[in-house]
Amino acid sequence: MKKEEKAVLVISFGTSYRETREKTIDRIEKQIREAVPEYKFYRAWTSRKIMEKLEKRDGEHIADIKEAMEQMAADGIREVVVQPTFILTGYESDRMEEEVRKYSGSFEKVIFGKPLLVSKEDKRSVIETLEKEYRPGADECLLFMGHGTEHAANVLYKELDELFEEMGLKDLYMGTVEGDFSLMYFLDKIGDKNYRRVRLAPFMIVAGDHAVNDMAGDEDDSWKSIIEKADYETKCFLKGLGEFEPVRKIFADHVREAVCICETKG
């Protein structure tokens, strides 16, 4: 099949924070382009609220899934590899696949790549990267802020917490904005430890609103403020997962895997 008839569609939730977008989503897209240069590149975001904000504030239009799928069909694309930049397969991923499948009849093949964390190898790679970056001192612990979900996929955060212990990283903890791993659960867990300071880092692809405001903000209900009220010092890091090359490599590997499936599937 000709190059111009094959495409990769990278789908992200999106962010209105330009600086973190340039360091995360844009770099992930670049690495995916380089991983499969024989495929034409398209992008789409899923957050209507963010896309509308960008259009109003910056005059920048980002395609949604419908627009991207229709554009690829109009461009004569016959085979599509869809690569999400999601961490896990949750509600957002389910909605994304459902929307893509509405237009799959316009193509000969539509193959989905995996989100970031599926295999244990990928999980260990990400944990090792983050531990090296944020390694807590003798009187410190490191708390990640994940998004969390009511979806069954929320078990991922439990698996990561268990991996910390399995890897001997006893001072690493996972928390989530939604779901089971609440901030209060974390504070209860470290109540009998001799920590003086808590390091906070987002476990999200971008360091957007959750990281800037819910985690590191100065409002009384931010994680930083609540932890300080519990008599711990805090240090916040605003670095999305997409800023780390090993994370971007996982997405590139997943898109290559999906391309191989696409090329062998009849």
DSSP 123-143: HHHHHHHHHHHH---TTEEEE
- Report the pLDDT value the prediction gives residue 182, as an integer from 0 to 100: 87
CA 82 from centroid of its chain's CA atoms: 15
The model's pTM is 0.94
- In 3D space, the residue among 205, 236, 202 whose CA is nearest the CA of residue 218 turns out to be 236
* Eight-state DSSP code of residue 30: H
- Report the pLDDT value the prediction gives residue 166, as an integer from 0 to 100: 96
Element of type H or E holding 121: helix 120-134
* Eight-state DSSP code of residue 36: -
Please list the helix, strand and coil fractions of the chain in percent, rounded to the nearest 5, in that order. Answer: 50, 15, 35
- Report the pLDDT value the prediction gives residue 153, as an integer from 0 to 100: 77
Q: Which of 61, 147, 151, 254 is catalytic?
A: 147
- Report the pLDDT value the prediction gives residue 120, as an integer from 0 to 100: 94
Torsion sign across C-alpha atoms 66, 210, 121, 32: positive
Q: Which H, E and C letters describe 42-105, residue by residue?
A: EEEECCHHHHHHHHHHHCCCCCCHHHHHHHHHHCCCCEEEEEECCCCCCHHHHHHHHHHHCCHH
Interatomic CA distance for residues 232 and 227, integer angstroms? 6
Q: Is 151 a catalytic residue?
A: no
Interatomic CA distance for residues 156 and 56, integer angstroms? 36
- Report the pLDDT value the prediction gives residue 179, as an integer from 0 to 100: 77
- Report the pLDDT value the prediction gives residue 264, as an integer from 0 to 100: 83
Split the chain (266 residues) into runs of 10 and give each run's mean pLDDT.
Answer: 83 96 98 96 97 97 98 97 94 94 96 96 97 95 92 86 95 89 90 94 96 96 97 97 98 96 78
Interatomic CA distance for residues 26 and 15, integer angstroms? 11
Q: At what angle do helices 91-101 and 65-74 cross, to 10 degrees?
A: 30
